[in-house]
Amino acid sequence: MIRRKHELVIIGAGPAGLAAALEAEKAGIDDILLIERDEYLGGILQQCIHNGFGLDYFGEELTGPEYAERFIEDVIASKTKIKLKTMVIDISQDKKITALNEEDGMMFIEAKSIILAMGCRERTREAIQIPGTRPAGILTAGTAQRFINIEGYLPGEKVVILGSGDIGLIMARRMALEGAKVKGVLEIMPYSSGLVRNKVQCLDDFGIPLKLNHTINRIYGKQRLEAVDIVEVDENLQPKLETKKRVECDTLLLSVGLIPENELSKSMGLKLAENSQGPYVNELRETDIPGVYACGNVLQVHDLVDYVSEEAEVAARAAADFINDNLERRNEEVEVIPGEGINYVIPHKISYKDDSRKLVRHFFRVSEPQENVKINIYDDSQQKLAGFSREIVTPGEIETIKLPEKLIPDNTKEITFVLEDEGEGINE
């Protein structure tokens, strides 16, 4: 049995883990172990062969593998030790990691600090409970993406896609390009949950219909999927059975949401946030166990990888400061509350006082699409601290605001983000 000790252990070598490793080394940590379960670095970016990544971070447009490779080259050239094909099976509250792989067998790794960067999972048929038989041909959009883009298999020829999340839209185009007939994308909500540009480029370009307010209420087929019943839903999302229509298909792709990968976070007893569905963190992406950080999609499902890299760097600098005992807590933590119209805000609280930073960047999602709104921020005595205008907000697109450090008061227990009509707030 192998026992190792490292200053910093990073779990997951996708965009979050890679950026965290580089930033931690830059911040002076030179004993870093990066653990990845796949046989290559880069994570899901490697199967996202489409372009659209990196404009924010690199100022140019890249594909997923190109974005990943820029970090991979630097990580390989760095002092960071890398373990591929290695699975972490447990983390204890005192930061002891149990991991295993073919070569080393079981490993026990002690860490001063841990960064969780395991990404997220796709919701499956089971999560949305579609009735019917259980034939082959029903898979998540991300699984289909891996089959087509990495392994070289086309999963089917006549395709229906449920859910208008980005991966669903991207896969509609990908399957159409590879010669499959994509019969349509169904979205139960009255609006697409994917980025607008994907709706334009992936559906409109290929004449693939997007059916809003639609879902699937039955699956047919014994060995292989043969057909699905599609049905319109009413405003309570209940099927209007008179609209039911059978559509022949051999493949059903599900793009019905992503949830942070919480298995390890749960097993180590981290406090989770119901609204963002991942660990509960402060502005340094520190969980409720000091020295344990979460960043990237394991924390909140991002739609820009650029923000993942940025968030990982925040966590990595904090981990370095933690290892070097370099942080000053506030007397009183400030909780960040999602109010009316806001689904969640990251960070969930502000724990540190740091006059050297001018701003604390907040990420949030709204609960419904709206135009000409203000995001107003109030303290616990309903005093307005700041207001930020937005022409358009939608749940499919993460919003960010930079809250000036000097506006975060010392004498409030919480600040609340509220979505209000334009005109109600003060100017930024």
* Site residues (vs other proteins, CB under 8 A): 39-41, 46, 49-52, 55-56, 61-66, 68-69, 72, 76, 82, 84, 148-152, 177-178, 195-197, 200-201, 205, 303-304, 392, 397
- Of 130 and 171, which CB lies nearer to other proteins in the complex structure? 171
Cα 269 from chain centre: 21
Nearer to other proteins, 201 or 277 (CB): 201
List, as one string, the DSSP characters of 258-307: EEE--HHHHHTT--B-TTTSSB--BTT-B-SSTTEEE-GGGTS--S-HHH
Which DSSP category does 150 fall into? I
Query: Cβ contacts of residue 341 below 8 Å, gap of 6+?
Result: 366, 367, 368, 370, 373, 418, 419, 420
**Shortest CB 305 distance to other proteins, Å:** 9
Nearest Cα to 41, choosing from 16, 9, 7? Answer: 16
User: In terms of C-beta distances under 8 Å and separation of at least 24 residues, what long-range contacts does 404-412 make, across chains too?
Assistant: 404/358, 404/359, 405/354, 405/355, 405/357, 405/358, 405/359, 405/360, 407/377, 408/334, 408/350, 408/360, 409/334, 409/379, 409/385, 410/330, 410/331, 410/332, 411/332, 412/334, 412/379, 412/380, 412/381
Residue 368 per-residue DSSP state: S
Q: Which is nearer to other proteins, 198 or 215 (CB)?
A: 198
Q: Least CB distance from residue 54 to other proteins, whole Å?
A: 9
Q: Are 17 and 28 in contact (CB under 8 A)?
A: no
**How near is the Cβ of 375 to other proteins at its closest, in Å?**
17
Q: Closer to other proteins at the Cβ: 5 or 40?
A: 40
Residue 196 CB, nearest approach to other proteins (Å): 4
Tell me how far, at minimum, the Cβ of 120 lies from other proteins, in Å: 17
Which lies closer to other proteins via its Cβ, residue 131 or residue 179? 179
Nearest distance from C-beta of residue 69 to other proteins, angstroms: 5
Minimum CB distance to other proteins, residue 425 (Å): 21
Residue 26, CB-side half-sphere exposure with 13 Å CA sphere: 15
Taking the complex as a whole, how short is the minimal distance between the CB of residue 99 and other proteins, in angstroms? 17
Residues with Cβ < 8 Å from 265, sequence gap 6 or more?
116, 272, 278, 279, 287, 294, 298
Locate tokens 């940590």: which residue?
29
In the complex with other proteins, the residue whose CB is nearer, 47 or 276, is 47
Sheet strand arrangement including 227-232: 214-220, 227-232, 245-248
Structure tokens at 394: 């939608």
Q: How far is the CB of 102 from other proteins (least distance, A)?
A: 11
**Angle of CA points 402, 405, 411, to nearest 5°:** 125
**In terms of CB distance, is 267 or 400 closer to other proteins?**
400
Residue 382 has a CB neighbour count (10 Å cut-off) of: 7
Closer to other proteins by CB, 61 or 328: give it.
61
Q: How far is the CB of 140 from other proteins (least distance, A)?
A: 20
Nearer to other proteins, 149 or 262 (CB): 149
Residue that the structure tokens 């860490």 belong to: 111
Backbone angles phi, psi at 335, to 5 degrees: -80, 140
Closer residue to other proteins (CB): 69 or 333: 69
